[in-house]
Amino acid sequence: MRRIYAKEGCPHSSKVLAFMAEANLLHDYSLEYDTQENREMIKDRYGKVMFPACEFGDEKLMIESNDIIKALADEHEIDPNTLVAFQFIFGWPESKRHTMYKTYMKVRMIQLFLNSFSRIIVLSSTFLQLIKYGTEKEGSLDQLMIHLAALP
Ligand SMILES: N[C@@H](CCC(=O)N[C@@H](CS)C(=O)NCC(=O)O)C(=O)O
Domain ranges of the chain: 2-91, 96-150
Residue 146, amino acid: I
Measure 122 CA to ligand 1 centroid, in angstroms. 50
Pick 26 or 141 by higher pLDDT: 26
Whether residue 15 has its Cβ less than 6 Å from ligand 1? no
Identify the residue whose C-alpha is closest to ligand 1 atom 7. Answer: 51
Pick 71 or 151 by higher pLDDT: 71
Mean pLDDT of 121-142: 67
- At 134 the pLDDT is 61
Ligand 1 pocket test, pick from 48, 51, 54 with the greatest ligand atom count within 8 Å of Cβ, gives 51
| pLDDT interval class at 122 (50, 70, 90) | confident
CA distances from 6 to 51, 130, 135 (A): 6, 57, 65
What contacts 9, CB < 8 A, 6 or more positions away?
none
Whether residue 38 has its Cβ less than 6 Å from ligand 1? no
Whether the Cβ atoms of residue 4 and residue 62 lie closer than 8 Å to each other: no
Q: Which residues pair with 53 in a beta bridge?
A: 5
What backbone phi and psi angles, to 5 degrees, belong to 31? Answer: -85, 120
Identify the residue whose C-alpha is closest to ligand 1 atom 14. Answer: 50
Q: In the CATH scheme, what is the homologous superfamily, with its name and number, of domain 2-91?
A: Glutaredoxin (3.40.30.10)
This model's pTM is above 0.85: no
Whether residue 5 has its Cβ less than 6 Å from ligand 1? no
Helical packing angle, 65-75 and 11-22, nearest 10°: 10
| pLDDT interval class at 139 (50, 70, 90) | low
Query: How is 59-78 classified by DSSP, letter by letter?
Result: TEEE--HHHHHHHHHHHTT-
User: pLDDT tens digit string along 25-84?
Assistant: 999 899 999 999 999 999 999 899 999 999 987 678 999 999 999 999 999 999 999 998
